Structure formats: C-alpha cells, structure tokens
A = this chain, B = another copy of it.
Amino acid sequence: MSTNRLEAFSDGVIAIAITLLTLDLAVPNPATTGSLGDALADQWPNYAAYVVTFLTVGIIWINHHAMVHRLRQVDHTFLILNLLLLLTIGVLPFSTSLVAAYLGEQGEHVAAAVYAGSLLAMSCAFFLAQRRALVSSPELLHEGVTVEDRREILRRARGGVLPYAAAMALAPISGYATLALCGLIAGYYALPRTTNVEMG
C-alpha cells in the first residue's frame, strides 16, 4: 500500500478524535443553574483536560507525519500496528472525559490512572509502529535514512514512553499531579526549541 491513503485515513481518525474532545464540554442546564459564571468556572478540569489532550494528540499527529514521511511503502504488519495506534487515540476522548469528571471526586486516582494509562498505551503503540518501520522492515524506508538516524529516532520513541509511565505512577498520589505532568509533557514537545524532536 502506498503511504498516501494511510496518511489520509490516519489524519481522518486523528482529526475526528481531537475534535470529539469538545463533546466533553457540557452546557449547564439553564433551568437548574444559579450563576452561569460559577457553573462554568467549576468545569475548569474539563478545560484543562481538553487543552492537554488536544495538544498531545496534535503532537502525535506531527510525529505520525514524520514517521510515515520516512516510509516508501507499508506492509500488513505496519498497517495493523498503525490501527492499534489509532485505536488508542480513539480512546482518548473517553479517558479525557473520565479524568475531567473525577478530579476532586472519589475515584480520582482510578480515573487519573486510566487517563495516564491511555496515553501510555498510545506512546507504546507509537513505539511499536516506529520500530516496525525502522528495524524490522528496512526495505520499507526511503534511502536517505541512515542507521544512526534509525537508532536515534527509536531511542527517542522509547524515551517518550517514560514520562507517561511516571504520570501513571503519580495517579495513586494525586490526579491533579497526573494531569499536570501530562500537560508539561505536551508543553515540552510544543516548545519552539524542540523543533524536530519526536515524541514517543
């Protein structure tokens, strides 16, 4: 399969998942809401989770492009690993909604673990697809990609898994800390100075 349609389909799924995040922002019922300002302010975890997940998925999209750009063609195994990655991205509107609903409630620690876990699963799936592209099937690659390039890219993809494992480890302590760390990770990759740094 050429990479064009793979990109089109992946872009579609990522674009939809990133936009469905917005469904998490609920309009308070006018009939039962006292002060709309207060009701909206109470939803701040939803806004925070929206921004963090939106940026994270946006950065994954940038890295997905870089990964596919290196490929001349894709094989069945890569397609299935790419599907696995899209499956984990498809779960994010749910896990984002979950952590936003349970911050400060009973269940905060479970919700934060699920949220960090879904991001961890995504970065693992990304690492597996990246490894398939770079190691198992070098005949899929464009010629300009050297052995050093491959080693470096894989090292970074593997490194990208760690911060989400740390975020998950923070969940039993504080769900706020988990969300904050995920926000820091996204912010780090979004910074101008990290141009060309890939997120795992």
Contact = CB atoms under 8 A, between A and B. Distances in A.
Interface of A: 1, 5, 7-9, 11-23, 25, 27, 30, 33, 35-37, 40, 50-51, 54-55, 58-59, 61-62, 65-66, 69, 75-77, 79-80, 83, 86-87, 90-91, 93-94, 97-98, 101-102, 105-107, 110-111, 114, 190, 192, 194-196
Contacts of A54: 83, 87, 90
Give the oligomeric copy count. Answer: 4
A196 B5 CA distance: 17
Contact of A5 (B65, B97, B106): B65
A1 B87 CA distance: 25
A39 to B, nearest CB: 8
A27 B75 contact: no
A114 B62 CA distance: 30
A90 B96 CA distance: 15
A183 to B, nearest CB: 13
Contact of A30 (B11, B35, B102): B102
Contacts of A195: 75-77
B91 A22 contact: yes
Nearest to A97: B27
Contacts of A91: 22, 25, 50
Contact of A7 (B8, B69, B105): B8
Contact of A192 (B76, B110, B194): B76
Q: Which of A35, A40, A94 has the most CB of B within 10 A?
A: A94
A15 B18 contact: no
Contacts of A51: 87
Contacts of A107: 30, 33, 35-37
A79 to B, nearest CB: 6
Given A12-B16, A192-B77, A110 B40 contact: yes
